[in-house]
Amino acid sequence: MTKQHIHESHAPIVKRLKRAEGHLRCVVERFDDGRSCLELAQQVNATEKAITKAKRTLVHDYVDTCLDVAVNGDSSKPTKNVPADFKAIARYL
């Protein structure tokens, strides 16, 4: 069983993702309704931005908390993994 890993930022991230999920459903309905390509592109872009903001918040939180703890102590993870961990999370920027 995996240990729970919850940060204060997770609840707002989940809220943002649920909002994006609802928005995406509306976008699909607009496709089904035959809306204009411009309107569809705008709505898809808005959904993408919401997801990107959630991802950015998650990455920033990881850097601010998980990596900070690994560097400054209070971590069960050896400090030598920090560069590799940073490189791994940087892929999502």
Give the domain CATH number at 47.
1.20.58.1000
**What are the φ/ψ torsions at residue 73 (nearest 5 degrees)?**
110, -175
Q: Is the pLDDT of residue 74 over 70?
A: no
Tell me whether residue 19 is in a domain.
yes
Residue 60 lies in a domain: yes
In a domain, 61, yes or no: yes
Residue 5 lies in a domain: no
Q: Is residue 67, in this structure, part of any structural domain at all?
A: yes
The pTM (predicted TM-score) of the whole model is: 0.73
Supply the range of the domain harboring residue 61.
10-90
pLDDT at 1 over 80: no
Residue 4, in any domain of the structure = no
Q: Per-residue pLDDT averaged across 33-51, rounded?
A: 95
> Residue 77's pLDDT is what?
53
Whole-angstrom Cα distance, residue 78 to residue 4?
Answer: 19
Task: Quote the CA–CA distance of 93 and 52 in Å, as a whole number.
Answer: 9
Please give the tally of structural domains in the chain. Answer: 1
Give residues with Cβ within 8 angstroms of 58, minimum separation 6: 9, 13
Evaluate the CA torsion angle 49, 8, 59, 5 in order and state its sign: negative
Q: Examine residue 2 and state whether it is found in any structural domain, yes or no.
A: no
Q: What is the pLDDT of residue 14?
A: 95
